[in-house]
Amino acid sequence: MFITKAPKPWVVALAGMLLIAGFAGPGRAADENAQTKALKEELRIMKERMDQLNRQVEELEKQQAAAAAAAKKPAAPPAGPPTEPKFDAFMKDYKKEPEPKLAAFMKGFFGTLDISLEDTTKGMEGMVAFPYGYATGAPGSPYVITGPAKGGGAGPFGRVGWIPAMSSNGSNVGYRGTHKIGASNVDFIYQVSTSINMAAAPGLQNTWTKSSNTVQGAIGLGDTFLGFQGKSWGRLRFGELLTPYRTTTDRLNPFAGQLGDYSVVMGNTGGDNRVEFGTRMDHLIAYTSPTWAGFSFDAAFAPGQNPDHNTLLTPLGSPDCSGSNNPGSGNLFLNCDDGGFQDAFSVDMKFETGGLYLTAAYEMHKKVNRASDGIGSNQPYYGYVYGLGLASQPGPGQLPTNALSLQLLDWADFLAFQAEFPGAAAAGSPAYNVGVDVADEWAAKVGGQYRFPFGLTISYFWEEMHRNVPQIMQFQNERQRTGDWLALDWVFNGGADRVAVGWAHAGASVGDPGGQHNFNPQLLGNNQANMYTAAWWHKIDKQLTWYVDVADTANGYNAHYDIGAGVHGIKTDCHDATHAAFIDYSSAGPTTWGGCHPIGVSTGINYKF
């Protein structure tokens, strides 16, 4: 096929020269026809070669143009924002889901971290103890001093004045969550938590005055449970939990976890650094009702799980006695006879409307064993009964014949102990008989709170605690008394600041076991106490708070309330530093002094998440 494009100029010139060279002149007329034919044939061949050459040239130009276009780089796009990192892009898409799994998981964590610096004193320098008895040696006659001052007049042993310290108070970490059960209206709920010490290493909670097998920092030392809940019927939980008796008045306690927490007096029957009513219990079954027109209630039951009918053993599945210490605490026999109990019941009722909150609560502990209250007692009546037993022994190591002494004191176990450890037994004395000193104990309280619109809150409740021992044991019944709590709490500065003051009063108990080293029976009934607390909190932000706290417990002569009961890390109580260098089960060791005057000042940081 011939090309239709015009020949290149140099091709035309070449054809012209060939034509002139082959033109026939006048002398060659005879050969005209032959030459003409030859020329035409040459032109035809030349034309074919020219067309072929032209096609080659055009093909070469196309290849050169394509190479030039490929070699030319396109212009760079205009500068813009940097490319989004792959992880950020992933998280942006991830957050578009209704509730990302990771975010939902992280929401389950909660906790409180607290550390304070404080300076406290037991307030019992210069005290002196004397032995007391009956003037005629028998009840009915006046109490008199029967000898020289104990220990040659030596006062409390060790550092009982001001001691600076660092304390971790109510610190805990936990995780909680819910799981919807299929298409039902019931949720499965769960929580695990642990009480931790931000100021010291984790370990057993042992001191020279009290020992425990629970481990600070271990999972489960805090509200830990499984359960179910539904909007129409309430919530049911199973595990280790605070009882309703405690939770119903938590909001009335501005000083929770600090020096001067109301647990120093309220719910504390013995006046030592532990709380009998309103604590956390093992193996608790707890129900919380819905709210109906402002009314609601909570109920809980804890099976005793104790194999011994007198509550002398630790409950099945628990590390400690139900009275919150372990067998042998205080250099006593390996029994749960310092407050161990069987089944427990706790219930509250609440009503709330506007700024008004009202509540009433009740808790019962069954078969509480307090037989160890007799060991080493300084109560003259105990000494009188013990003397009757000693005087009526037919011979060394034999049971006495005196009926009263046999009824009140556990001679069988004491004589067995005496036979095995005669030296240690000389420093001790018999416990009370479980037949008369294992009894039910209950507590009841009623109170309320009112929040004013301008930031002031007033809280008050009254409490009674009772121990159902027979009349013959009322002389040593310190577990039966009344108490009062009053607190004023004011929030100001737009919620950034808060101040509060509190007063707790412990009424006189029915009796006194005389466990104090300086017990004075002439002042029976003078075991009342008043605790005063004041604090200021400043919110640094929504979660972080700085506080200053001061507490002062003024004890009557035979009273021994502290300023650290509850969840405050360090207990400043009425024990001096006397301790057992070795365990001999004689109760020799921790020494309590009545009439101590604990005072403390604390400042710290509290972070909640």
**What digits encode the pLDDT tens for the residues 422-473?**
988 888 899 999 999 999 999 999 999 999 999 999 999 999 999 999 999 9
Question: Do 105 and 247 fall within a single domain?
Answer: yes
> So what's the pLDDT on residue 480?
96
- Assess if residue 44 is contained within a domain: yes
**What digits encode the pLDDT tens for the residues 98-123?**
667 777 788 899 999 999 999 999 99
What letter represents residue 128's amino acid?
Answer: V
Span 370-391, average pLDDT:
95
- Is residue 4 predicted with pLDDT exceeding 50? no
- Assess if residue 47 is contained within a domain: yes
Span 531-542, average pLDDT:
97
- Assess if residue 217 is contained within a domain: yes
- Assess if residue 74 is contained within a domain: no
Span 232-248, average pLDDT:
97
Question: Do 28 and 133 fall within a single domain?
Answer: no
* Burial classification of residue 476, based on how many CB atoms lie within 10 Å of its CB (0-12 exposed, 13-18 middle, 19 or more buried): buried
What lies within 8 Å, CB to CB, of 415 at 6+ separation is 397, 398, 399
Is the alpha carbon torsion for 391, 394, 399, 401 positive or negative? negative
Question: Do 65 and 105 fall within a single domain?
Answer: no
Helix (H) or strand (E) holding 422: helix 422-425
CB of 432 closer than 8 Å to CB of 373: yes
Question: Do 31 and 157 fall within a single domain?
Answer: no
Question: Do 113 and 51 fall within a single domain?
Answer: no
What lies within 8 Å, CB to CB, of 448 at 6+ separation is 356, 357, 358, 359, 459, 460, 461
Question: Do 114 and 260 fall within a single domain?
Answer: yes
- Assess if residue 388 is contained within a domain: no
Question: Do 195 and 118 fall within a single domain?
Answer: yes
Question: Do 62 and 105 fall within a single domain?
Answer: no
Question: Do 156 and 61 fall within a single domain?
Answer: no
- Is residue 25 predicted with pLDDT exceeding 80? no
Mean pLDDT of the chain: 88
- Assess if residue 364 is contained within a domain: yes
The number of distinct structural domains making up the chain is 2
Question: Do 51 and 107 fall within a single domain?
Answer: no
> So what's the pLDDT on residue 95?
55
- Assess if residue 88 is contained within a domain: no
- Assess if residue 155 is contained within a domain: yes
Lowest mean pLDDT among 81-95, 324-338, 481-495: 81-95
- What CA–CA distance (Å, rounded) separates 389 from 397? 12
User: Which CATH number fits the domain that encloses residue 185?
Assistant: 2.40.160.10
**What digits encode the pLDDT tens for the residues 404-433?**
999 999 999 999 999 999 988 888 899 999
With cut-offs at 50, 70 and 90, classify the pLDDT of residue 15. very low
Residue range of the domain that includes 47: 9-69
**What digits encode the pLDDT tens for the residues 122-171?**
999 999 999 999 999 999 999 999 999 999 999 999 999 999 999 999 99
**What digits encode the pLDDT tens for the residues 244-294?**
999 999 999 999 999 999 999 999 998 888 899 989 999 999 999 999 999
